[in-house]
């Protein structure tokens, strides 16, 4: 049977495809939290992406404004719950700035050591989950969880809690370290380095892993800055911006460490920057142990009830996801008048749509994973 060109064209037109909408989340295990993104796909190619947040909103800022400065401690380590002590540190620094409180030198060193252990703990979570996203079939999770459990055991010894230690206090710390802390931490650092090497060997040298990640969803430095992106994603573009060096706080100005950077700003660079940061964090912790002074861990002049007159400040810290900022305002009394969180994960999510559009559906999952978001911090 002969089909004339006009008839063939009509036949093809009658089979035009229609874009399909796919829900990823809000409970999908690949989303690293209660997050939902709606993908519009043409076959296997993503043509649009709409993120939905707010499933984990707890009202952190308003809760803080309705409790006194000490009572609010428990809310903040539930933001970036993978690195609670980093969040506690930022909140305490804001309150101390408002009140003009001095922190004992020993407490500053302990804070830095615990914040860097928290950073390592968070990055282990990223490496374990991201490796599983790309296809390590859980092996990366096993390596990462082994080290995270050991870090959490130490946190429990120090503070009495694992994930939500509430160990920091405005003016210092809840309590001093246990007597065996130095030998305990040095053993822990040896275990951590072994865990990093295990994951490095499993993923960095894996040809399939590299092929899936290299060149995918690249980001330029200029575009990252315009979107408000900070942290490892910004450093992956090649810009060595780290608040611990650019605007040192606590005793970071006494620490010697390098700032790992990438070249292309792609998914592989984001992965490798975080992996390299973990080695640098172990160096900072060792320096804290070597330089640790004796003395108090809580300001002895701290009043029983903390009242702060008119004052306001903005504190910037280098969180595990980027610039974790706290804006605080006091107008008298025992409660803050205003308290706002600058969430790095929320800002980093602004790049998700343009990263995902044009990629395959399978790649959209690892693009999301490369952002390393924590929804407790996004939703607040």
Q: Give the SS3 label for residue 229.
A: coil
CB 217 within 8 A of CB 49: no
What per-residue confidence (pLDDT) applies to 2? 44
Q: What is the per-residue pLDDT across 42-98, written as a single tens digit (0 to 9) for each?
A: 888 999 999 988 888 889 999 999 999 988 888 898 898 889 999 999 999 999 999
The residue count for the chain: 380
What per-residue confidence (pLDDT) applies to 376? 87
Q: What is the per-residue pLDDT across 82-138, written as a single tens digit (0 to 9) for each?
A: 899 999 999 999 999 999 999 999 999 999 999 999 999 999 999 998 988 888 667
pTM: 0.91
Residue 238 CA to residue 274 CA, distance in Å, equals 13
Pull the structure tokens for residue 68: 């006194």
On the question of pLDDT at 3 being above 80, the answer is no
Superfamily of domain 55-331: Cytochrome-c3 Hydrogenase, chain B (1.10.645.10)
Q: What is the per-residue pLDDT across 208-221, written as a single tens digit (0 to 9) for each?
A: 899 999 999 999 99
Environment class of 10 (CB within 10 Å of its CB; exposed 0-12, middle 13-18, buried 19+) = exposed
Q: What is the per-residue pLDDT across 332-365, written as a single tens digit (0 to 9) for each?
A: 889 999 999 999 999 999 999 999 998 898 899 8
Give strand pairing partners of 338.
329
* φ, ψ dihedrals at 274, nearest 5°: -65, -40
On the question of pLDDT at 25 being above 50, the answer is yes
CA distances from 100 to 266, 302, 314 (A): 43, 11, 14
What is the separation of C-alpha 244 from the centre of its chain, rounded to a whole number of angstroms? 15
The alpha helices in 15-138, defined as continuous H runs, are: 60-65, 73-76, 84-99, 105-134
What per-residue confidence (pLDDT) applies to 92? 95
Ramachandran category for residue 19: left, alpha or beta (phi over 0 → left; psi -120 to 50 → alpha): beta
Q: How confident is the model at residue 13 (pLDDT cuts 50, 70, 90)?
A: low
Give strand pairing partners of 361.
none
Domain layout of the chain by residue ranges: 55-331
The alpha helices in the chain, defined as continuous H runs, are: 5-13, 60-65, 73-76, 84-99, 105-134, 139-159, 181-199, 207-213, 221-226, 232-235, 243-246, 267-291, 344-348, 352-356, 361-371, 375-379
Q: What is the per-residue pLDDT across 227-274, written as a single tens digit (0 to 9) for each?
A: 999 999 999 999 999 999 999 999 999 999 999 999 999 999 999 999
DSSP for residue 5:
H
């Amino acid at each position: 049977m002969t089909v004339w060109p006009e008839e063939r064209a009509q036949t093809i037109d009658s089979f035009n495809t229609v874009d399909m909408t796919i829900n990823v989340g809000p409970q999908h295990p690949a989303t690293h939290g209660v997050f939902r993104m709606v993908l519009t796909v043409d076959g296997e190619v993503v043509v649009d992406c709409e993120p939905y947040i707010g499933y984990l909103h707890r009202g952190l800022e308003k809760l803080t404004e309705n409790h006194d400065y000490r009572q609010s401690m428990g809310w903040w380590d539930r933001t970036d719950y993978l690195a609670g002590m980093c969040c506690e540190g930022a909140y305490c620094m804001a309150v101390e700035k408002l009140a003009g409180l001095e922190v004992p030198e020993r407490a500053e060193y302990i804070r830095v050591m615990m914040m860097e252990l928290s950073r390592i703990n968070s990055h282990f979570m990223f490496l374990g989950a991201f490796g599983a996203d790309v296809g390590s079939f859980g092996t990366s999770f096993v390596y990462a969880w082994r080290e995270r459990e050991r870090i959490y055991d130490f946190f429990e010894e120090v503070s009495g809690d694992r994930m939500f230690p509430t160990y920091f206090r405005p003016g210092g710390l809840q309590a001093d370290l246990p007597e065996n802390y130095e030998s305990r931490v040095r053993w822990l650092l040896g275990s951590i380095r072994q865990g990093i090497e295990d994951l490095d060997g499993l993923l960095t040298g894996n040809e399939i892993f590299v092929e899936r990640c290299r060149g995918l969803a690249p980001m330029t430095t200029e575009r990252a800055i315009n979107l408000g992106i900070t942290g490892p994603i910004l450093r992956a573009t090649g810009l060595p911006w780290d608040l611990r060096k650019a605007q040192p706080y606590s005793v970071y100005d006494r620490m010697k460490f390098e700032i790992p950077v990438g070249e292309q700003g792609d998914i592989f660079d984001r992965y490798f920057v975080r992996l390299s940061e973990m080695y640098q964090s172990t160096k900072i912790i060792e320096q804290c142990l070597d330089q640790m002074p004796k003395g108090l861990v809580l300001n002895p002049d701290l009043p029983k009830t903390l009242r702060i007159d008119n004052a306001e400040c903005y504190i910037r810290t280098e969180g595990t996801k980027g610039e974790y900022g706290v804006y605080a305002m006091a107008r008298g009394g025992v409660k803050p008048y205003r308290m706002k969180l600058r969430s790095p994960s929320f800002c980093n999510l602004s790049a998700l749509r343009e990263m995902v559009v044009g990629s395959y559906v399978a790649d959209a999952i690892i693009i999301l994973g490369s952002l390393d978001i924590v929804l407790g911090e996004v939703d607040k």
